Copies of this chain bind each other. A is one copy, B any other.
Amino acid sequence: METTLRLPSPLVPVQEAPLTPGALRLIDAYWRAANYLSVGQMYLYDNPLLREPLSLTHVKNLLLGHWGTTPGQNFIYAHLNRVIKQYDLNMLYVCGPGHGGPAVVANTYLEGTYSEVYPEISPDEAGLRKLFRQFSFPGGISSHVGPQTPGSLHEGGELGYSLSHAFGAVFDNPDLVVACVVGDGEAETGPLATAWHSNKFLNPATDGAVLPILHLNGYKISNPTVLARITPEELDQLLRGYGWTPYYVEGDEPTQMHQQMAATLDQAVADIQAIQQNAREHGDLTRPRWPVIVLKSPKGWTGPKLVDGRPNEGTFRAHQVPLAVSAGTPPEHLAQLEAWLRSYKPEELFDAEGRLLPEIAALAPQGNRRMGANPHTNGGLLLRALHLPDFCDYAVPVPVPGATQASDTQVVGRFLRDVIKLNSAPRNFRIFGPDETASNKLEAVFEATNRQWGAETTENDEFLAPSGAVLEMLSEHQCEGWLEGYLLTGRHGLFNSYEAFIHLVDSMFNQHAKWLKSTLEIPWRRNIASLNYLLTSTVWRQDHNGFTHQDPGFMDHVVNKKASIVRVYLPPDANCLLSVMDHCLRSRHYVNVIVAAKHPAPQWLNMDAAQKHCTEGIGLWPWASNDQGYEPDAVMACCGDVPTLETLAAVSILREHLPELKIRVVNVVDLLKLQRSTEHPHGLPDADYDALFTRDKPVIFAFHGYPWLVHRLTYNRANNQHMHVRGYKEEGTITTAFDMTVLNELDRFHLVMDVLDRVPQLGNRGAYLKQLLKDKLVAHKLYITRHGIDMPEIQNWQWPTANRGVSVD
């Protein structure tokens, strides 16, 4: 197929060289000031204004930092300041190559926000000295655009998420423009490569705009970048193919670059405003081609041209500290550093007190228009609690345990539907998922909203609309990145995913958890809404997919992060899930992992009991136990929906065959109750733990995930040696639901045998029952390989409430 490509022409023609000579001089001065402060941060221990000739005592002992990306980012920041003022933009800055930290620190210092947040870093020589000294210095600040940096909502330590964060920030923020610097190294990552497609999910009327600035810096640590080494035609095709309108700024001569950048930014702002006006005033929601700027400038621009005879500026060698300066380096390095610093002419930029000259400082916007002060970057400031319906209104009636069947996620879907309804005016709640919201049985939400989708639609689509509270793209990275951006700017959300594939975002979770942990320690940062994961389509029910879709290990990954941040819940039924979901949506500054079932299954607790159980997080189920008033012979603990079902089925077998055996059933909803209270804020004190689990009786623990996780949480409890955990031990295939538990020895028959093995006084009666169960297992295998489904006695098993008269009420 031959196609003729139509290159969209600029929506609004603008002036080619918009800067007057005076404006040009001032913007260049601003840029030089930022560059000076950046080099100062990397090198200077003292003599911050170079009032004396530079000596080694003025240079830090250990030189750290990344120069390469920094001058380009200073250039961008200065020019963004200009257009913010000119067009009164509500803009924030996302720094993809986050190791360009010195640039953002320098700029927020120049605009005044830094000293407002950290008064000791004052706008004078003393403050400058501290500013320089603290950078990448023990007790100081990180080299990246970490949470300590005002105006940052994206650290950029792990590359790849800048664009997703930027889009997350502008959803439902129609006045916001996020300028997002994408490094050309970062652009090689998978998450970034697909994030360009975010433009198909943006509504130009109700969302804000993202202005990506692809920084073609040319090099990574020691390799060139792919996008800098393809033809200009290819790069242009690529960006247009992604649906953007690219504009190019290329060169290294400052005067000409300033004019180009100013003209291009004018153009980009004009395009954004034209698109938004068209959508908002004329109701035209046709997917627009938003502008993207490609800035091609030398790596380490304005840095040393040559170091030790080898080219530096414009090469990979400018990536970190381009020039080593210490007692052990050639003496000319010190002179070269001084010349480099003086090339920015600090004496023309700062007054006698070390304060930026007022006419230069005037380039920066005022108040909250300063990117370092934009309240969206400290989202907790803007956070409003969700309007939540009473979750009890969605309760599944459970007259007796096990009598009702329901899909837990389907039930919570109705609750979420009404959360969406109640918050449709503030527009501050969204559900994210990789095309699984319906498959995960949350379909009730589509009674209240749609999937937001800006690309083409056809008559056979369902629930697609230009605006909607659900965002679905087949990229867990995008879902996570969008949601993080949404939360970081003070809104609420939920990520629903298949349990196994949430590992795709292990590393993104890491970074977010680190952000949360760090912000807790920063007084001016406000808490944000929790990052909520609803993991379903779990390991135990992969009928359509099998082994590749079985991995419950995200919990293991999560609990390695700071206890103050992470929470893990495994509600055993729908009413518990409702209670847990309500709690998570109210919580702040956590990562909440909820593992829940989507397949119809027996329900255990009525709403009162569920609410009480979830509030405790762990508890003895008296209606399922027969140890009232006595020490049990064994504790059968369970955590997760399938383990709970199998445990109760095992208990019913024991009750039938060995009614005198005293079994206590303990159910765990809040996994971290298992840890000691000294290790996790939710952890049970030892006395409470021992009261539940005993100090010396066998505990048969049926667990949803890898069994070792329970051991890792309980290794230092008194009865550790009596804890026997069954869970997923990486055995799986396409098979029946019950057979999955058999393969992993988590099924009712194995659980009973585990009890029998640990209560030896049963003698022959135990041996007899064990043989009976072995026969059952053989019958099961024969049946499923013949019929492809589970035996009726398994499928139709019900909790024999008649066995005991204890009602759940």
Contact = CB atoms under 8 A, between A and B. Distances in A.
Q: Interface of chain A, helix or strand or loop or mixed? A: loop
Interface string A65-97: 110000000000000000000000000000000
Contact of A544 (B65, B451, B518, B561): B65
A514 interface: yes
Contact of A185 (B137, B192, B457, B474): B474
A49 to B, nearest CB: 20
Interface in A111-166: 136-144, 146, 155, 157-160
Contact of A143 (B5, B226, B510, B545): B545
A627 interface: no
A544 B136 contact: yes
Contact of A435 (B220, B247, B320): B220
Contacts of A435: 185, 220-223
Contacts of A556: 556-557, 560
A734 B506 contact: no
A1 B232 contact: yes
A159 B477 CA distance: 13
A169 to B, nearest CB: 19
Interface in A1-34: 1-7
B236 A238 contact: no
A229 B457 contact: yes
A754 interface: no
A541 to B, nearest CB: 12
Contacts of A551: 507, 510
A734 B143 contact: yes
A623 interface: no
Contacts of A143: 544-546, 734
A507 B480 CA distance: 15
A6 B2 CA distance: 11
A517 B475 contact: no
Nearest to A437: B222
A193 B236 CA distance: 17
A436 B221 contact: yes
A229 B455 contact: yes
B64 A730 contact: no
A517 B548 CA distance: 11
A241 B242 CA distance: 9
Given A45-B788, A546-B142, A137 B188 contact: no
Range class of the A interface residue count: 35 or more
A808 interface: no
Interface in A191-245: 191-195, 197, 200, 220-226, 229-230, 232-243
A503 B554 CA distance: 12
A733 B142 CA distance: 7
B188 A475 contact: yes
A439 B319 CA distance: 11
A438 to B, nearest CB: 5
A405 interface: no
A566 to B, nearest CB: 10
A473 interface: yes
Interface string A780-803: 000011011100000000000000
Contacts of A243: 230, 234
A137 B190 contact: no
Contacts of A510: 500, 503, 551, 553
A236 to B, nearest CB: 5
B315 A460 contact: yes
A28 to B, nearest CB: 23
A543 interface: yes
B547 A734 contact: no
Interface string A379-422: 00000000000000000000000000000000000000000000
Among A155, A220, A507, max chain B CB count under 10 A is at A507
A478 B190 contact: yes
Interface stretch (A343-351, A605-613, A706-714): A706-714
Given A3-B232, A233-B3, A788-B137, A222 B438 contact: yes
A160 B517 CA distance: 31
Nearest to A185: B474
| Assembly stoichiometry (copies) | 2
B462 A222 contact: yes
A139 B229 contact: no
Contacts of A473: 188, 226
A314 interface: yes
Contact of A720 (B241, B544, B720): B720
Among A239, A315, A544, max chain B CB count under 10 A is at A544
A739 B155 CA distance: 22
B136 A708 contact: no
Interface in A159-192: 159-160, 185-186, 188-192
Given A158-B501, A226-B197, A457-B229, A545 B507 contact: no
A186 B434 CA distance: 11
Contact of A787 (B61, B233, B456, B477): B61
Nearest to A518: B547
A734 B562 contact: no
Nearest to A156: B548
B144 A548 contact: yes
Given A197-B226, A238-B238, A556-B557, A138 B462 contact: no
A549 interface: yes
A222 B439 contact: yes
Contact of A193 (B193, B503, B557): B193
B159 A221 contact: no
A560 B706 contact: yes
Interface string A296-326: 0000000000000001001110001000000
A745 interface: no
A592 interface: no
Interface in A698-729: 706, 708-709, 711-712, 715-716, 720-721
A38 to B, nearest CB: 15
Interface in A469-484: 472-478
A61 B223 contact: no
Contacts of A453: 223-224
Nearest to A224: B461
A735 interface: yes
Interface in A606-632: none
26 contacts: A1-B246, A2-B7, A3-B7, A45-B788, A62-B788, A62-B789, A64-B734, A99-B544, A138-B735, A138-B736, A158-B500, A158-B504, A188-B194, A188-B474, A189-B190, A190-B190, A190-B191, A200-B226, A221-B436, A221-B438, A224-B453, A230-B243, A234-B240, A311-B460, A557-B557, A711-B716
Given A223-B472, A500-B510, 9 more contacts: A1-B247, A5-B5, A99-B544, A188-B474, A200-B230, A226-B455, A229-B455, A311-B460, A562-B730
List 3 A-B pairs, minimum CB-CB distance, nearest first. A157-B548, A238-B241, A190-B190
